[in-house]
Structure 1
Amino acid sequence: MPPPRSFAEFWPHYVLAHRHPLTRAFHFTGTLLAWMLLIAAIARRSGWLVLAALLVPYALAWLSHFFVEHNRPATFDHPLWSWLADQKMVGLMLSGRMGEEVRRCAEKA
């Protein structure tokens, strides 16, 4: 399969790399923690909290890929699209629509 040339092409690949609910839960937790740490970093003017906001979500996500999903994190090949997809996935999870999106992408694969 050729590499994606746009975010729209990347999204289904990203979704299918996050089929396991536990993987998505790790990403969800990491992303929300990142936003909270970033807000705290701004409020406290703390470089350490900025560093934590960058490291914590990646650590959680990568753990889930290596030990739950058993695949390679998309961040390695498409860092910006992966970050955008993570935000979209969290939004879909908050609205209760991520399971439906996984099914939709799996049917098209």
Structure 2
Amino acid sequence: MGNRITSYKEFYHFYLTEHQNRTSRILHFTGTFLVFVLLFLAILDGWGWEWIFLPLVGYGFAWVGHAFFEKNKPATFQYPFWSLISDFKLFFEILFGSKSFDSRKD
């Protein structure tokens, strides 16, 4: 990425180009789903030990997807807030069917 992205719309377009691999999308989706599970368990447990694993699970699955399947650097390092929002946005778009694990179907 040579030029700095200045709008979320522009960033999300870039984000989608960095998340085209099916396995990577599945890993991102799984990590985000597990974040919700851990968050739910943490709340039920009165904010016990579960909250510690939220970033590890969320980013761990995503970074494996980038390192081994997308073969690119996660946008989190340059655009952390927009990247986090986009992870959740893509999760819900896949969940509700406006996006797919297969990016060719988007």
Give yes or no for the alignment of 1:48 onto 2:42: no
Q: How many residues align?
A: 105
* C-alpha deviation, 1:47, in angstroms: 4.2
- 1:85 maps to which residue? 86
After TM superposition, the score normalised by the length of structure 2 is: 0.88
Q: Supply the distance in 2 between the matched residues of 1:54 and 1:47 (Cα, whole angstroms).
A: 15
* C-alpha deviation, 1:95, in angstroms: 2.0
Q: Supply the distance in 2 between the matched residues of 1:15 and 1:88 (Cα, whole angstroms).
A: 11
**1:48-101 deviations in Å (ceiling 9; x for gaps):** 2111112111011001100111000111111110111011101111122224xx
Q: Supply the distance in 2 between the matched residues of 1:65 and 1:17 (Cα, whole angstroms).
A: 8
Q: Supply the distance in 2 between the matched residues of 1:94 and 1:104 (Cα, whole angstroms).
A: 14
Identify unmatched segments of 5+ residues in structure 2.
none
Rate the CA distance shift 1:66–1:91 in 2: closer, same or farther, 3 A.
same
Give yes or no for the alignment of 1:39 onto 2:45: no
- 1:10 maps to which residue? 11
Q: Supply the distance in 2 between the matched residues of 1:88 and 1:98 (Cα, whole angstroms).
A: 10
Quote the sequence identity (%): 38
Identify unmatched segments of 5+ residues in structure 1.
none
Q: Return the structure number with greater helix share.
A: 1
Q: Supply the distance in 1 between the matched residues of 2:49 and 2:59 (Cα, whole angstroms).
A: 16
Q: Supply the distance in 2 between the matched residues of 1:97 and 1:3 (Cα, whole angstroms).
A: 28
